Amino acid sequence: MIDRRIKFRHIQCFVEISRERSFKRAAERLYLTGPAISKTLKELEDILGAPLLTRSRAGVALTAQGEVFLHFAQMSLAALQQGLDGVEQAGALAAENLVVGALPSVAARLMPAAVTAFTEMRPQARLRIMDGPHGFLTDRMKLGDLDLVIGRLAGPEQMQGISFSQLYTEQVVFVVRAGHPLLDDPDLQRITEWPVVYPSPGSAIRPLVDRYLIEQGVAEVPRQVETVSGAFGRVWVRRSDAVWIISAGVVANEIADGYLVQLPFETGMTTGSVGLMTRAGETPSPVEQVFRLAVDQAVEALGLTT
């Protein structure tokens, strides 16, 4: 059994003296006086009942017992340092984890710029991004699976227990592939002649699109493919004559690159607020505060400010 009289300072002093081969240099490294370090070594030798070091004009030398004890003393200090490092790293990872939910329009347009800014400011942080429809993400946030969500402001029933901070506004657009026949005669009433990629039930923009089409006299869209999947929409719409009804942010890059074309329909009434959502009453962690700053920088860089 280890003698409880042996303290960390005893081991540290002995190892440092052995490493420096000098009481004076060891004392300087440990910010101790000469008498103090000599006293500490003497206490250790008394506890062990054996001399560990000898002093002569040639310097400090280990005894046979000192050689044996030094080996295990160094191993003990190394193991202790590994433990301390492990605790520090585990604590840092726990403090620097951030899980963010992003609606499709945000994931495609805002998040790349926000993540770039965030990783520059907090390179050691571990960021995880989850995308999906509004209801799915806000439910995950309420359960504690997500720290925050960025997306559209939904109806009151979906926003219970959620704090919302507006970032910018966005509207719904109708897009088709380049060369689509509807571009020759862009009449909203004609969209029913082709398949339509339509917002799925539960998505934040679905009620807005339903109301918009009714007010425009388009009461029924018979060939609907209901989804808010940006990955599916980008591929299928470019390879077919489908018309895609989606938030502008989802297709902003494809429109800019000329792969998709926005139909010239006035959709101002579908404009809605996009913002940052968190559980009501919670104080943001330090890493979340940095992420919020990165989001603000991205909004400004992309010219999305309202």
CATH code of 224's domain: 3.40.190.10
Neighbours of 304 (CB within 10 A): 18
Report helix, strand or coil for 232. Answer: helix
Asked, for residue 58, whether it belongs to a domain, the answer is yes
What per-residue confidence (pLDDT) applies to 88? 63
Alpha-carbon distance of 306 to 304, in angstroms, equals 6
Neighbours of 12 (CB within 10 A): 18
As for how many domains the chain has, the answer is 3
Give residue 112's identity as a one-letter amino acid code. Answer: P
Taking 3-state DSSP, the helix, strand and coil percentages for the chain, each rounded to the nearest 5, stand at: 50, 20, 30
Give residue 146's identity as a one-letter amino acid code. Answer: L
Range of the domain at 194: 172-270
Which of 47, 62, 93 delimits the end of a domain? 93
What tokens does 73 get?
A: 């003393």
Alpha-carbon distance of 97 to 290, in angstroms, equals 12
Asked, for residue 180, whether it belongs to a domain, the answer is yes
**125 and 61, same domain (yes or no):** no
**15 and 89, same domain (yes or no):** yes
**117 and 194, same domain (yes or no):** no
What per-residue confidence (pLDDT) applies to 278? 93
Could you tell me if 134 and 154 are in contact, meaning their C-beta atoms sit under 8 angstroms apart? yes
**155 and 214, same domain (yes or no):** no
Could you tell me if 17 and 23 are in contact, meaning their C-beta atoms sit under 8 angstroms apart? yes
Which residue is listed with tokens 């792969």? Answer: 259
What per-residue confidence (pLDDT) applies to 282? 85
C-alpha distances in Å from residue 111, one per residue of 105, 132, 229, 250, 304: 9, 14, 16, 11, 13
**149 and 61, same domain (yes or no):** no
List CB contacts of 28: < 8 A, sequence separation 6 or more: none
Neighbours of 136 (CB within 10 A): 16
What per-residue confidence (pLDDT) applies to 211? 94
Look at the alpha carbons of 187, 192, 198, 201 in this order and tell me if their dihedral is positive or negative.
positive
**151 and 297, same domain (yes or no):** yes
Asked, for residue 260, whether it belongs to a domain, the answer is yes
CATH number for 63: 1.10.10.10
Low-confidence ranges of the chain (pLDDT < 50): none
**254 and 182, same domain (yes or no):** yes
**180 and 242, same domain (yes or no):** yes
Q: What are phi and psi of 266, to 5 degrees?
A: -80, 110
Give residue 254's identity as a one-letter amino acid code. Answer: E
Which residue is listed with tokens 């990629």? Answer: 197
What per-residue confidence (pLDDT) applies to 95? 57
What per-residue confidence (pLDDT) applies to 119? 93
Asked, for residue 1, whether it belongs to a domain, the answer is no
Which of 32, 67, 93 delimits the end of a domain? 93
**88 and 133, same domain (yes or no):** no
Could you tell me if 138 and 162 are in contact, meaning their C-beta atoms sit under 8 angstroms apart? yes
What is the C-alpha radius of gyration for the chain, rounded to an integer number of angstroms? 33
Q: What are phi and psi of 113, to 5 degrees?
A: -70, -40
List CB contacts of 259: < 8 A, sequence separation 6 or more: 177, 178, 234, 238
What per-residue confidence (pLDDT) applies to 1? 63
Q: Tell me if the pTM is above 0.75.
A: no
**126 and 240, same domain (yes or no):** no
